[in-house]
Amino acid sequence: MGKRAEKDEKEFCASVWILTKSSPKKILLVHHKKFDMWLQPGGHVENNENPVETAIREVMEETGVDISFLKDRKERIDKDGTFLILPQFILEETIPEYKDQPQHFHTDIQYVVEVEETKLKHNPSESHDIRWFTNEEVKNIKIHEDTRRILIKLFDPINTIAISKS
DSSP track, 122-158: --TTT-SEEEEEEHHHHTTS---HHHHHHHHHHTSTT
Spell out the per-residue pLDDT of the chain, length 166, in tens: 457 778 888 999 999 999 999 889 999 999 998 889 999 999 999 999 999 999 999 999 999 999 999 999 989 999 999 999 999 999 999 988 888 888 889 999 999 999 999 999 999 988 999 999 999 999 999 999 999 999 999 998 766 666 777 6
Read off the pLDDT of residues 129-148 as tens digits, 9 standing for 90 and up.
999 999 999 999 999 999 99
Question: Using CB atoms within 10 A of its CB, is residue 58 exposed (0-12), middle (13-18) or buried (19+)?
Answer: buried
pTM, 2 dp: 0.89
Gyration radius of the chain over CA positions: 16
- Give the pLDDT of residue 165: 73
Phi, psi of 22 (to 5 degrees): -75, 170
Taking alpha carbons only, the member of 20, 7, 64, 16 closest to residue 42 is 16
Which domains, ranges and CATH numbers included, belong to the chain? Answer: 10-164 (3.90.79.10)
CB count in 10 Å sphere of residue 9: 15
Question: So what's the pLDDT on residue 1?
Answer: 44
